[in-house]
Amino acid sequence: MAIKVGGTTVIDDSRNITPVNSTVSNTLTIQKVVETAVSLGTVTTAATINLFAGTLFTATLGGNCTFTITNPTGAASFTLILTNDGTPSRTVAWAASGGSFKFPGGAAGLTRTTAASGIDVWTFFSPDGGTNWYGNISQKAHAA
């Protein structure tokens, strides 16, 4: 899919945005934005969240897993819906190669739901292209 403004492609199939040198003199109304969830499947020791693929991700935690974030551009954000498998107490970590991760209160990480089949919704944003990620669990301990 490509989105064009004034005949110029501004978003191409790889989700790259190209600057457009034009001025909108009237109101631009967007009626609907549809976001597709990108399934990472069952993740075990390592998983990559590729921001070229989207901004909404789902995963089932099947082992202790370290997540890496790739391809952030400019100000970036993403949501991860993380479901535990049937085994409780798995761990989650964030790879330093994906940027510096900052959590509320200066914590090194977040206390997540570790119950079997529990679901947490994680949200992250970076104002600087992935150098710093600010994260939180926005919704915690949903039942499967």
Task: Look at residue 119 and tell me if it is in a domain.
Answer: yes
- Among 82, 69, 144, CA closest to 112: 82
Read off the pTM.
0.77
Residue where the block lists tokens 């967007």: 30
Residue where the block lists tokens 């100000």: 75
Residue 70 sits in which domain range?
Answer: 31-142
Task: Look at residue 16 and tell me if it is in a domain.
Answer: no
Write the burial class of residue 52 (CB in 10 Å: 0-12 exposed, 13-18 middle, 19+ buried).
exposed
**Per-residue pLDDT tens digits for 5-29:** 666 665 555 555 555 566 667 787 8
Q: What is the pLDDT of residue 12?
A: 56
**Per-residue pLDDT tens digits for 92-126:** 999 988 789 999 998 888 889 999 999 999 999 99
What does pLDDT average to over the chain? 86
Instruction: Give the number of domains in the chain.
Output: 1
Task: Look at residue 25 and tell me if it is in a domain.
Answer: no
- Among 31, 68, 27, 61, CA closest to 44: 61
Q: What is the pLDDT of residue 4?
A: 62
> How long, in residues, is the chain?
144
Task: Look at residue 3 and tell me if it is in a domain.
Answer: no
Residue where the block lists tokens 């403004």: 5
